């Protein structure tokens, strides 16, 4: 049972994703059914966030660097046991997910190496330590203006993997999060070709050119999902408040996430 990192730029939905995964703790609305059991206090609080914040039509505050966050130990650390079932007669795949909720600012600092920045160096060390199986990398801004930035950032991250001798034994699940948006929902079935190959071409080329193909896979996922099978409108609206733009549920009773477990299942497979 190794660790899995979940990283991504600001506003990519990392905390909301973990809260949705925790809330749907016995879920059969995906290609794989699964059960999630929180193993520590931080993980239990995610369920409360889902019930008291997301289901009430509010958004979860983003994890940001600030006065109270100086080192990795100041960040929430979530631990779960997840049982993934793919059929009545197949043994379940059981994994323990241990993940720290890094602010997007830390991920984006990969291009601005500063060994005096404690939280940054601890972030890199923890992401690439020997017992980490791989990471789930969430992207949400798919506009072409971000493509060059993401490509450069990932080139540096992959170079760090190589420096730590992790290039051949580190899996990277790259996901387009918030895929409930109407512009990209149709591309969810083949995200490598129809999402990354269309919107983030440089990023796709960098990843495929520098990583072993068996250690790279692309996904599309949505914590909020759409309103229904025959109503593919996003079950999400943008709420503009004092903290800026935030995503909230449009219709709480119809909350049905998409593809939350598949990237974790692939990352954990031996």
- Interval 49-60: pLDDT, tens: 889 988 988 887
The pLDDT tens digits for 30-88 are 667 888 999 999 999 998 988 998 898 888 776 666 655 666 777 888 999 988 887 77
CATH class (in words) of the domain with range 3-268 = alpha beta
CA 125: distance to chain centroid? 19
Exposure of 59 in the CB half-sphere (CA atoms within 13 A) = 20
Given this model, what pLDDT does residue 63 score? 67
Cβ pair 69, 60 in contact under 8 A: no
- pTM of this prediction exceeds 0.95: no
* pLDDT cut 70: percent of the chain above it: 88
CA 206: distance to chain centroid? 20
Burial of 58 (0-12, 13-18, 19+ CB in 10 A): middle
Cα–Cα dist 1/96, whole Å: 6
Report domain extents, the chain.
Answer: 3-268
Given this model, what pLDDT does residue 140 score? 82
Q: Which stretches of the chain score pLDDT less than 70?
A: 1-2, 28-31, 62-71, 113-117, 143-144, 240-245, 270
């Amino acid at each position: 049972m190794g660790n899995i990192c979940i990283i991504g730029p600001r506003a990519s939905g990392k905390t909301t994703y973990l809260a949705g995964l925790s809330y749907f703790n016995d879920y059969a609305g995906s290609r794989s059914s699964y059960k999630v059991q929180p193993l520590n206090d931080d993980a239990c609080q995610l369920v409360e966030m889902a019930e008291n914040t997301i289901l009430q039509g509010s958004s979860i505050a983003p994890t940001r660097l600030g006065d109270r966050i100086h080192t990795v130990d100041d960040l929430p650390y979530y631990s779960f046991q997840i049982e993934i079932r793919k059929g009545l007669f197949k043994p379940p795949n059981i994994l323990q997910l241990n993940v720290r909720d890094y602010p997007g600012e830390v991920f984006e600092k990969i291009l601005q190496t500063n060994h005096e920045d404690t939280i940054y160096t601890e972030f890199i060390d923890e992401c690439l330590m020997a017992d980490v199986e791989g990471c789930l990398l969430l992207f949400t801004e798919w506009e072409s203006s971000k493509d060059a930035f993401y490509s450069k950032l990932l080139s540096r991250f992959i170079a760090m993997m190589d420096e730590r001798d992790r290039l051949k034994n580190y899996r990277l699940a790259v996901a387009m999060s918030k895929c409930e948006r109407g512009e990209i929902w149709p591309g969810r079935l083949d995200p490598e070709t129809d999402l990354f190959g269309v919107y983030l071409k440089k990023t796709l080329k960098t990843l495929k050119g520098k990583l072993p193909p068996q250690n790279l896979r692309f996904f599309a996922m949505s914590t909020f999902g759409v309103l229904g099978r025959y109503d593919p409108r996003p079950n999400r609206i943008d709420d503009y408040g004092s903290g800026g733009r935030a995503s909230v549920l449009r219709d709480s009773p119809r909350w049905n996430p998409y593809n939350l477990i598949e990237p974790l299942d692939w990352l954990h497979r031996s």
